[in-house]
Amino acid sequence: MTPVQQMATPAATVRTPSGRRGRPGEPRRVAYLYILPAVAVFGLFILYPLIRTAQFSLYEWDGLGASSWVGLANYQAVFSEPQLRGAFVHALVLIVFYAVVPVTLGLLLAATMSRALLRGLGFFRVVLFLPQVIPMVVVAIAWRQIYEPEGPLNDLLRFVGLDSLARPWLGDYAWALPSVGIVGTWVGTGLCLVLFLAGMARIPRELYEAARLDGAGPLREFVAITLPSVRGELAVALTLTVIAALKTFDLVYVMTSGGPGTETTVPSYQVYNNAFLLGRVGTATALAIVLTAVVFVVTVVINRIGERGQR
Amino acid sequence: MISRGERIANYAVLALFAAIALFPVLLILQTALSNDAIVSDGPASSFNFQNFADAWDQGHFASYMRTSVVVAILVVGLSTVISVLAGYAFGTMSFRGSEVIFYLILLGIMVPAEALVVALYFDLRALGLTNTLVAIVMPQVAQSTAFGTFWMRAYFRTSSREVVEAAHIDGAGHWRTLWQVLVPMGRPAVTTMVVLVFMWTWNEFLIPLIMATSENLRTAPLGLAFFQGQYTSGTALLAAGATLVALPVVVVYLFLQRHFIRGMVEGAVK
């Protein structure tokens, strides 16, 4: 969606033939002054700390005393210590709840709904999108209340006669992680639905009519027309939701603090926990570097898939 | 071609999902307005606003909100100006190294805060700068600038060459062209950036959690998280605090929802 091409505008006639993009007397050196503040804050508060993080990850340090060089031992710990590896496994589970379920649900719902042109979509769009803007800490507090032993969820289960299912959701070893995940589903589904409805509204009706004349069923229609048309939206939805799952922190910090036991620890939480509560700065930074690498790879792969077929 | 039944079914599905989206929000609001406050001097009514007053005073939310407002103004103000300047250069001027520098900054969008804050905390501590506004604000300015530069560059690249040319012929220099012609014309793009950065800053949790080591610099979400550690969930006071924390960003969203949705739809990732 980023416009990249240089359009040949009527102004082209005014331009001198020499500069491809430049106008006569266009300042070039001054550009460095314009980007100086951005480069400065980027260098000081992103690039330098990132390099320092990588450096820290090669040492063992408790945050106070002397540090000692340990090479890649911290990375070895990230991949071998069950607690740290577990955090990434939990993140994978969260991706299912944060990304796979909302995207699938959003695609199916939008596809069935976009057959009819709906009025009054504006109101629903505002409401469905609302979970995206509420501070995560507030979301966590609301859902903690829902999951309380005497909270609305258990009330509902008892009301419909499923008393045996009622439980303290966030204190349950098997159910704590899915319970956190459901909150991610709640946050992401509206976003996906809004995105896909917008994307599908742009598909020309004639395409479907032509497909139907050719005898295509609803499934063929979906695979051959709908899905390719919303490829861009699909990439955006997946990027936003998968990254949100990988970077989950506030929700876990407020709802469970990683518990019960270590059932709901996630990479971000372990970074915080190791650096500031356990005094394992090296381990924490190694974990942060691995998380960054995962975020990079995921973003690039998703956007590659999104761009393919879109010219 | 589309049957009436199908249309009704569509609305039913939308209504169901809207109800699910609203339920936790309404639950908090209802709890905040309920009457189970520990001490309630005011006259009992069905709507009990006493909880908000208690949270504001006794819960220290006045202080948390003030910090958040200051942080938000600084982050939004600084990152907007810096992004406009950089986006202008990257979008309209050609200079050596522009591609490399731009893509480097673009990578900055993808770097999660987790990979910055630990090292930053220890380095700032060595300088005696933890628990200051600088420590809370500047990392967020950097992150928002990475996004803002990308966002503004896209706008400046689409900005009409004719307009720039006309301003140039009128004798406007590059500085005046930017602030008197391009920025006023680009108000929608700038507004979208501002509301997104405001939302991210207001909701940010990890950076203030690590950088604000004493209570006087706690931002609203941070204060709320510590507050809920002291009270059992479901109490009116906690819900009132949660409502106060969410209110500014929700109000801005209701007024400028097009900008929020457009920003996210066009792939504003943070």
Q: Which residues of A touch B11 (CB under 8 A)?
A: 118
Q: Could B142 and A137 be called an inter-chain contact, meaning their C-beta atoms sit closer than 8 Å?
A: no
Is some CB atom of chain A closer than 8 A to the CB atom of B235?
no
CATH 1.10.3720.10 for the A34-307 domain, yes or no: yes
| Nearest beta carbon to residue B112 from set A126, A186, A291 | A291
Say if residue A150 is exposed, middle or buried (CB neighbours under 10 Å; 0-12, 13-18, 19+).
Answer: exposed
Residue of A nearest to B122 (CA): A63
How far A46 CA sits from the closest chain B CA (Å)? 7
| Whole-angstrom distance, CA of residue B178 vs CA of residue A243 | 35
Please compute Rg for chain A using Cα positions.
25
Q: Two tokens at A217? A: 């069923």
Q: Which residues of B touch A302 (CB under 8 A)?
A: none
What Å distances lie between residue A293 and A288, B1, B110, CA to CA? 9, 50, 10
pLDDT attached to residue A282: 96
Q: Which residues lie below 8 Å from residue A136, measured CB to CB, with a gap of 6+?
A: A250, A251, A254, B203, B205, B221
- Let me know: does A221 contact A211? Beta carbons within 8 Å: yes
Cβ pairs A/B, distance under 8 A: 307
pLDDT digits (tens, 9 = 90+) for B174-195: 899 999 999 999 999 999 999 9
pLDDT attached to residue A18: 37
pLDDT attached to residue A117: 63
Q: Could A37 and B115 be called an inter-chain contact, meaning their C-beta atoms sit closer than 8 Å?
A: no
CA angle A294, A296, B136 (to 5 degrees): 95
Q: Could A253 and B225 be called an inter-chain contact, meaning their C-beta atoms sit closer than 8 Å?
A: yes
pLDDT digits (tens, 9 = 90+) for B55-98: 888 888 999 999 999 999 999 999 999 999 999 999 988 898 99
| Nearest beta carbon to residue A145 from set B10, B88, B234 | B234
Q: Could A281 and B122 be called an inter-chain contact, meaning their C-beta atoms sit closer than 8 Å?
A: yes
Amino acid at A50: L
Q: Which residues of B touch A151 (CB under 8 A)?
A: 234
Q: Which residues of B touch A127 (CB under 8 A)?
A: 18, 21-22
pLDDT attached to residue A169: 95
Residues 147-176 of B with CB under 8 A from A: 149, 154, 157-158, 160-162, 164-165, 168, 174
Query: Model-level pTM?
Result: 0.90
Q: Could B25 and A3 be called an inter-chain contact, meaning their C-beta atoms sit closer than 8 Å?
A: no
Residue of B nearest to A55 (CA): B119
Single out the residue of B54, B220, B19 nearest to residue A141, CA to CA: B220
Q: Could B206 and A254 be called an inter-chain contact, meaning their C-beta atoms sit closer than 8 Å?
A: no
Q: Which residues of A touch B239 (CB under 8 A)?
A: 141, 145
pLDDT attached to residue A204: 87
Q: End-to-end distance of chain A based on CA atoms, in angstroms?
A: 11
Q: Which residues lie below 8 Å from residue A171, measured CB to CB, with a gap of 6+?
A: A259, A260
Q: Two tokens at B197? A: 């950065």
| Nearest beta carbon to residue A191 from set B122, B160, B264 | B264
Residue of A nearest to B178 (CA): A34
How far B44 CA sits from the closest chain A CA (Å)? 24
Query: Which residue of A141, A153, A194 is the best one to mutate when testing the B interface, meaning the one whose CB has the most B CBs within 10 A?
Result: A141
How far B118 CA sits from the closest chain A CA (Å)? 7
| Nearest beta carbon to residue A46 from set B116, B122, B209 | B116
Is some CB atom of chain A closer than 8 A to the CB atom of B245?
yes
pLDDT attached to residue B9: 85
Q: Which residues of B touch A101 (CB under 8 A)?
A: none
Domains and CATH numbers, chain B: 63-265 (1.10.3720.10)
Q: Could A194 and B261 be called an inter-chain contact, meaning their C-beta atoms sit closer than 8 Å?
A: yes
Q: Could A49 and B94 be called an inter-chain contact, meaning their C-beta atoms sit closer than 8 Å?
A: no
| Whole-angstrom distance, CA of residue B241 vs CA of residue B224 | 7
- Let me know: does B197 contact B144? Beta carbons within 8 Å: yes
Q: Give, for all 270 residues of chain B, the pLDDT tens digit.
A: 567 787 888 888 889 999 999 999 999 999 999 876 444 444 555 567 888 988 888 888 999 999 999 999 999 999 999 999 999 999 988 898 999 999 999 888 899 999 999 999 999 999 999 999 999 999 999 999 999 999 999 999 988 788 888 888 888 888 999 999 999 999 999 999 999 999 999 999 999 999 998 889 999 999 999 998 877 655 888 999 999 999 999 999 999 988 888 887 775 555
pLDDT by 10-residue block (mean), chain A, 311 residues: 35 38 59 96 97 96 92 95 95 97 94 73 88 96 93 94 92 96 96 89 86 86 90 91 95 93 95 96 97 95 76 38
| Whole-angstrom distance, CA of residue B253 vs CA of residue B270 | 17
Per-position DSSP letters for chain A, written without gaps between them = ----SPP--GGGGTS-SS-SSPPTT--STHHHHHHHHHHHHHIIIIIHHHHHHHHHTTEE--SSS--EE-TTHHHHHHHH-HHHHHHHHHHHHHHIIIIIHHHHHHHHHHHHHTTSPPS-HHHHHHHHHGGGTS-HHHHHHHHHHHHSTTSHHHHHHHHTT-GGG---GGG-TTTHHHHHHHHHHHHHHHHHHHHHHHHHHTS-HHHHHHHHHTT--HHHHIIIIIHHHTHHHHHHHHHHHHHHHHT--HHHHHHTTT-STTTT--HHHHHHIIIIIS--HHHHHHHHHHHHHHHHHHHHHHHHHHHTT--
How far A134 CA sits from the closest chain B CA (Å)? 6
How far B246 CA sits from the closest chain A CA (Å)? 6
Is some CB atom of chain A closer than 8 A to the CB atom of B138?
yes
Residues 172-191 of B with CB under 8 A from A: 174
